[in-house]
Amino acid sequence: MKQLIITSDDFGLSTGVNRAVEKAWREGILTCASIMPGGAAFDDAVKIAKANPGLQVGLHLTLVQGKAVLPNEKVRELVNAGGHFSDNPVKSGFRYFIDRGLFLQLKREIEAQIVKVLDAGIPLTHVDGHLNIHMHPTIFRILAELMPRYGITSFRLSRERLSHNLTFDRTRRLGKTVENIIFSSLSDHCRPILEKLGIRSATEVKGVLNSGCMTEEYILNILDGLCNGLTEIYFHPGILPDEEITRRMPTYRHTEELASITSSRIRQKLTSLGIELVNYRGDRKNHA
């Protein structure tokens, strides 16, 4: 049997994202949304989640290109004067790995992000990360301790078959190859620890190599070749105009990604292929 999770990342980043998430849930095939605790529209996202209780919400851990939830004095070496993390993921990744003095501040902030969502009345069952920061070795070490403590039972292993992707999209071949090597290595590190903890993950995650370009045509192409078992496809839908997502992700095709999630052609293909829509809890969603 083939099962498919459809996730929207960046829930809470802006009202344009939040409106897209609600539309994708009510009118499309969306089954999950990953919330950014430091997002400017976090409170609005919480209201939407509570109004749509069937929508599963996970943590979109943010430690780059976003705002901390703790005050500056508690994470002084992680943020600038405005409380924002660095916009440079490569530089941040090296710092988080090499500078052991940051470990306690990172742990403090990660736990605070989890607690902020739970305190808002939103149960968390899965974790992923902005720019896949959740698989960083230092960050994952912290999450491996915190997830069982807070009842988080699923984790996004950001691994995707390069050959399958390139069959339908030959852009960025060098970049995709490098990303594939990095994320495959990180997944191999995380997987045995997750299995030992009893934390679930999908067999494959689509969206890693085509982030921001998950168009209807691309999705229709890849559905035929999904792996058996559980696959996750993640998107970045948005309703424009929206200054925040345009500023942060100027090349992402937010409107087209929302159109993919609400596409009748994609729903029809899922039906014809007998692919079940589910979330990480295992709840099924009718897509016919």
Record the pTM: 0.96
The number of angstroms, rounded, from the C-alpha of 35 to the middle of its chain's C-alpha atoms is 8
| Average pLDDT of span 161-173 | 97
Taking residue 18's Cβ as centre, other Cβ atoms within 10 Å add up to 29
Q: What percentage of the chain reaches a pLDDT higher than 70?
A: 100
The closest alpha carbon to 188, from 154, 232, 152, 157, belongs to 157
pLDDT at residue 88 is higher than 70: yes
Q: Which tokens sit at 142?
A: 């912290």
| Residue ranges making up the domain that contains 39 | 2-285
pLDDT tens figures, 185-229: 999 999 999 999 999 999 999 999 999 999 999 999 999 999 999
Q: Which residues of 121-136 are buried (b: 16+ CB within 10 A; e: fewer)?
A: ebebbbbbbbbbbbbb
pLDDT at residue 288 is higher than 70: no
The closest alpha carbon to 211, from 254, 271, 148, 265, belongs to 254
Q: How far apart are the first and last CA of the chain?
A: 17
C-alpha to C-alpha distance for 234 and 144, rounded to whole angstroms: 22
Domain count, the chain: 1
The closest alpha carbon to 142, from 109, 171, 115, 173, belongs to 109
Give the CATH number of the domain where residue 125 resides: 3.20.20.370
